[in-house]
Structure 1
Amino acid sequence: MGALSRLLFSLSLAASAQAAHYEVTVGKGGQLKFEPETLKAEVGDTIRYLFYAKNHSVVQSSFAAPCQPLKDGFFSAFVPSPSPDSPSRTSFTITLSDKNPKWVYCSQGDHCKKGMVHAINAPETGNTLAAYKDAAAGVVASQSPPNVPVGGVRQTTVDVGKNGLTFEPNSIIEPKGTVVSFMFHPKNHSVVQSSFDKPCQPLSSGFSSGSVPATTSPSGVEFAYTIDRDTPVWFYCGQTTGNHCQSGMVGAINA
């Protein structure tokens, strides 16, 4: 590695080490609310949105047009969740590229109008969060972009072998662009894409994690697949010792 490469690598590590991470809950406890409603963050910081019941979204708007999506802004797509107390397996994370104020709302029904808004680096005077919320209250109807995540990372998790020969959950519904992270548990499992017609057989050009031996739960090892189609995706565990696939260790995306 050359001197310049080493320097750039060191600077990258330093920037990564200094970046802060924030978590914002969306609809926790059945409230139409982001918590915290406002926060201060720096360039490079990440903000992860955690979703609760029933069905919410994270949409960027401008201050001038609350409850309406900003062109080229970020959008989580809708995240349905059954629990008001436990977050969905699906989250949405953005990374700040500047310190300009970011205005955010939930595009579900009249949630924005009812005050379900959020701000990043909002000014203390003038265009404040309170002023944005007041303007949102006067909006007739919220607007939502097409239901595809943009401007951030939408991620959902699947446990592999956590409770026997299972994927949990074994059937997920997620929009195109979502990152599915398979989290491995003992003892030795894999995630292999198949066709519907030929279960337990690898699909040509399909994804495969390879065998992942694990001794601890969770192991800390994960395999990520980004949904790249609207049609169903079928997968199974290819571990032949014990015939995991034939024993029911199979799953599907958007089936």
Structure 2
Amino acid sequence: MGLPTAALALSFALAGCAGSGPDTTATTDHQAAASRTTQAAPGRPAAGAAPSAAAQALAHLPGLGPHTEAEIPADTRQVVLVTGRDKNSSDSQVALYERTGEGWQPKATWPARNALRGWTDDHHLDDLRSPVGVFTLTDAGGLLPDPGTKLPYHQSHSFIASGTGFDGEPLAGAFDYVVAIDYNRVPGTSPLDQTKPQGAAKGGNIWLHVDHGGPTHACVALKKDAMRALLRALDPALHPVVVMGDASSLAR
């Protein structure tokens, strides 16, 4: 499938959002698509808004059906829940939950963006959709120094986003902070690692990264302050995962 010229403008050191080495340059698997302003969904909390301290613990994560919930590992006590507005929308919301003896406790919510064409259960390279599923979160990195995360953090000048998105939004700073989503990658490696166990055709190198002002190629993007807060909150001792997809898919 041919991509618009603007999509090819986003590059950094390693193919797909990762690559063969820290000093090479290649096109990423989450290049920006058409830029447009994301409007908050009705009732969506403001960016970074923390739920009330008196919020009641939840027995189940909101919006998840039995199939999705069953995919969350038994030892997971921290979930980043990404809920897309609908199957073909690039608007989504991210909510952070932690499980205690009393149930799931909401910690924070932020508006977010996902891929231009929405979501898919069968992601492939350049389909401009984000993959639906439950994926571990094991590794982080970015152009900027570690903001205080407990995850392994790889700072590198290879985390460079340049050029503009489809609608002209600048991409600079999109990779200041990233968390690698363990879709078609080897956990425990740098986000820049190029290894794709399922093959290149299945895409990969999909990250949580800084919002550049438009939909993504396949990643999930949050405002910079939200990414800092998320990085500081994620704790490998809690075996964090991301649960991501459109609302109807998550409800299965």
Higher relative contact order (CA 8 A, sep 6+): 2
Q: Over alpha carbons, which structure has the higher Rg?
A: 1
TM-score class, shorter-chain normalisation, is under 0.3
Give the TM-score normalised by the residue count of structure 1: 0.22
